[in-house]
Amino acid sequence: MADLASGLLLDWRRRWRLRKQPPGPLCDYLSRPFPSPRTDYREVEYVAVDLETTGLNARRDQILSIGWVVLSGTRIDLSTASHRLVRVQGDIPAESAVIHQITDDVAATGTDLAAALPEFLCALSGRVMIAHHAHVERCFLGAACKQLFGGGLLVPTVDTQAIARRILERRQVAFKASDLRLHALGERYNLPRYGAHNALSDALAAAELFLAEAAYRDNGRGMPLGDFL
């Protein structure tokens, strides 16, 4: 029930923050209540998200792209699939460009974070965020919100990697860190493997992984959202 308590606490904090937040995208975002952790997870809407960044340090590094897709309960709605390239300040470090294949030229075609982030917040409003190893997304999105709107990001979050770790630990099987990667887990659940490595395909892969994990935990009678948070 700790999850339930913290979930309820989260919405209380949202209301408290809403009173202090000046009008703007973050205020609009906070104005919609979070889904109650008591709700059946199949009745909740989610946004699966993935970020590409210039590095792993949210204070120093920048967001390069945001990909997201909305889930209505246990259906991924591909009409909502979105991908935004973000123009960055300064050069993209070569070592990160190797991973995400976003070069300075490509990034230059993107939009400002000030335009991309509100769009994402609008999609996220009233929904639960899904991410794989959500810590990165929470830190970078939080830092971006703080920088642009003067307040951090409060959001109920499902971390598909944390769920996978809990499942493996509960089954008392030995596993390596690499077993918890998005693609390794996708294989375990018979999910398609996307060749392109970008924010949207990873967001989609995380969304599919969530459906798979939920299907394996749900005995057919549903579960409270709180069990996934």
Partner 1 sequence: MDVELIEIRDFLASHAPFEFLPEETLDVLPKKLAVRYLRRGTAFPPRDDEQPSLYLLRRGAVDLRDAEGNLVGKLAEGDICPSVCHPDDPRMQMAGQTSEDTLAYLLPCAELQRLRERHPEFAEHFDDSVSKRLRKALESIKQDSEGTTALMTVQVRDLLARDLVSAAPDTSIQEAAGIMSRAGCSSLVILDGERLAGIVTDRDLRNRCLAAGVSPTEPVSRIMTEKLETIGAGTLGFQALITMTRLNVHHLPVLDGGNVMGMLSTSDLVRVQSANSIYLVGDVRRAENTETLAAISGKVSELQVQLVASGATADQIGQAVSAVTDAITLRLLQLAEAELGPPPVPYCWMAGGSQARREQSSHSDQDNALLIADHMKPEDDAYFAALARKVNDGLHACGYIYCPGDVMASNPKWRQPLRIWTKYFNTWTKKPEPMALMLSSVFFDLRAIHDPEGLFDELQERVLKLSKADRIFIAYMAANALKHRPPLGFFRKFVLIHGGDHDQTFDIKHRGVVPIVDLARVYALSAGLSQTNTLERLKAAAAEGALSKDGGANLVDAAEFIGTLRMRHQAQQLKRGQKADNFLSPDDLSPLERGHLKDAFSLINTMQESLGQRYQAGRFT
**Residue 160 interacts with partner 1 (CB under 8 A): yes or no:** no
Query: Could you give the string, one character per residue 168-207, with x where binding to partner 1 holds by CB under 8 A and - elsewhere?
Result: ---------------------xxxx-xxx-xxxx--x--x
**Residue 215 interacts with partner 1 (CB under 8 A): yes or no:** yes
Which of 82, 157, 160, 161 is in the footprint of partner 1 by CB under 8 A? Answer: 82
Structural contact between residues 205 and 186, judged by C-beta atoms closer than 8 angstroms: yes
Backbone angles phi, psi at 108, to 5 degrees: -65, -20
Measured CA to CA, the distance from residue 107 to residue 62 in angstroms comes to 12
**Residue 114 interacts with partner 1 (CB under 8 A): yes or no:** no
Question: What burial class does residue 85 get, using C-beta atoms within 10 Å of its C-beta: 0-12 exposed, 13-18 middle, 19+ buried?
Answer: buried
Which of 31, 74, 142, 222 is in the footprint of partner 1 by CB under 8 A? Answer: 74
Q: What's the half-sphere exposure (Cβ side, CA atoms, 13 Å) at 200?
A: 12
CB of 106 to partner 1, least distance (A): 11
Which residue, 30 or 203, has its beta carbon nearer to partner 1? 203
**Residue 79 interacts with partner 1 (CB under 8 A): yes or no:** yes
Q: Which stretch binds partner 1 (CB under 8 A): 13-21, 24-32, 73-81, 156-164?
A: 73-81
121's enclosing H/E stretch is: helix 113-124
**Residue 115 interacts with partner 1 (CB under 8 A): yes or no:** no
Which residue, 56 or 215, has its beta carbon nearer to partner 1? 215
Which residue, 67 or 151, has its beta carbon nearer to partner 1? 67
Structural contact between residues 95 and 123, judged by C-beta atoms closer than 8 angstroms: no
CB of 93 to partner 1, least distance (A): 23
Which residue, 9 or 215, has its beta carbon nearer to partner 1? 215
The b/e string for 107-137 (b: 16+ C-beta within 10 A; e otherwise) is beebeebeebbbebbebbbebbbbbbbbeeb
Structure tokens at 121: 């917040």
Please state whether beta strands 45-53 and 128-131 pair in parallel, antiparallel, or not at all (unpaired).
parallel
- Enumerate binding residues for partner 1 (CB under 8 A): 67, 74-79, 81-83, 189-192, 194-196, 198-201, 204, 207-208, 211-212, 215-216
